[in-house]
Amino acid sequence: MTPPELVAQACPVIGVPGNAFYFTSESLAAGAELGLDRLQWYVGGRGGVLGNVESSVVRAAFGYFNPRMIHRGWLGATAVYPPRTIGRVFYECSAAHGRRTLADVDGLDRFVAAADAVLAAADATGLSMFAALAAEPMVDDVPGRAMQLLTVLREYRGSAHLVALRASGIDSKTAHFVKRPNDLKLFGWTESDAPVITDETHTAMTRAEALTDAIVAPAFGVLGDETATIFLDTLGAIQTVLAG
């Protein structure tokens, strides 16, 4: 199995369970204990690892969102607690979700070993969101660590995707309208914000997706065929458990 083949199969799956804990009742309760509403919890929690920065920095690291939405959530969250505090509570919620849901997944220890190897090989240069989260301490227990690895590897491809978009001449708002047109309100946009989208835009998006995979492929390339198969099989089992 080549690294591009592994990435093509693994990354679309990682993108789903990697954020599975964001809005669970338990996670939202943890945010509420800090005095944060849903938006503040998401923006402050996910972005908190970036530290005491301006909201424009958070929006640049997230991409896709309306800047006004990120500004509102970030200011609201950081007025209550320091961002690093919120970020660490948020990341612990990832581990807690893994403990609740993944403990019975077969082969999880081998998945964690493989994902740890990918993370260790990942080059964080230019990938601010990923670099910030990857610098956070990770838990040692297998189910909690498995979920945190999914979360950080999701940020790996997400950060690489923003770089690939810019290299392909696409701003992240346009990318959102192409890739997630049914989620405009969720990301703070309205129909009136719609950019002009042409066939050339779609071609550029296809090029950006391929470039994103090319950026992350070397890290996944550290896995041999047997380990890559274990990684994919266990990832599929994780997806099934979290979807259920």
Q: How open is the CA angle 171-68-126, to the nearest 5 degrees?
A: 45
pLDDT band at 99 (very low <50, low <70, confident <90, very high): very high
Q: Which two tokens stand for residue 96?
A: 């807690």
pLDDT of amino acid 243: 83
Quick: pLDDT tens for 159-191. 999 999 999 999 999 999 999 988 889 899 998
pLDDT band at 80 (very low <50, low <70, confident <90, very high): very high
> Based on C-alpha coordinates, what's the Rg of the chain?
18
Quick: pLDDT tens for 195-234. 999 999 999 999 999 999 999 999 999 999 999 999 999 9
pLDDT of amino acid 175: 93
The answer to whether residues 159 and 127 touch, using CB atoms and an 8 Å cutoff, is yes
**pLDDT higher than 80, residue 86:** yes
**pLDDT higher than 80, residue 244:** no
Q: How many DSSP H helices and E strands does the chain contain?
A: 12, 0
**pLDDT higher than 90, residue 44:** yes
pLDDT of amino acid 10: 93
Distance of CA 158 to the CA centre of its chain: 6
Phi, psi at residue 81, to the nearest 5°? -140, 155
Residue type for 182, please? Answer: N
Q: How open is the CA angle 4-8-13, to the nearest 5 degrees?
A: 140
pLDDT band at 89 (very low <50, low <70, confident <90, very high): very high
Rounded Cα–Cα distance for residues 119 and 187 (Å): 28
Q: Give the residue-averaged pLDDT of 64-72.
A: 95
**pLDDT higher than 90, residue 157:** yes
Quick: pLDDT tens for 48-61. 999 999 999 999 99
pLDDT of amino acid 15: 84
* Domain ranges, ordered by start, for the chain: 3-243
pLDDT of amino acid 1: 82
71, HSE (Cβ side, Cα atoms, 13 Å): 4
Quick: pLDDT tens for 2-29. 999 999 999 988 988 888 999 999 999 9
Q: Which residues contact 198 (CB under 8 A, 6 or more apart)?
A: none
Q: Residue 23: how many CB atoms within 10 A of its CB?
A: 12
pLDDT of amino acid 177: 93
Q: Give the residue-averaged pLDDT of 140-150.
A: 97
pLDDT of amino acid 212: 96
Quick: pLDDT tens for 101-144. 999 999 999 999 999 999 999 999 999 999 999 999 999 999 99
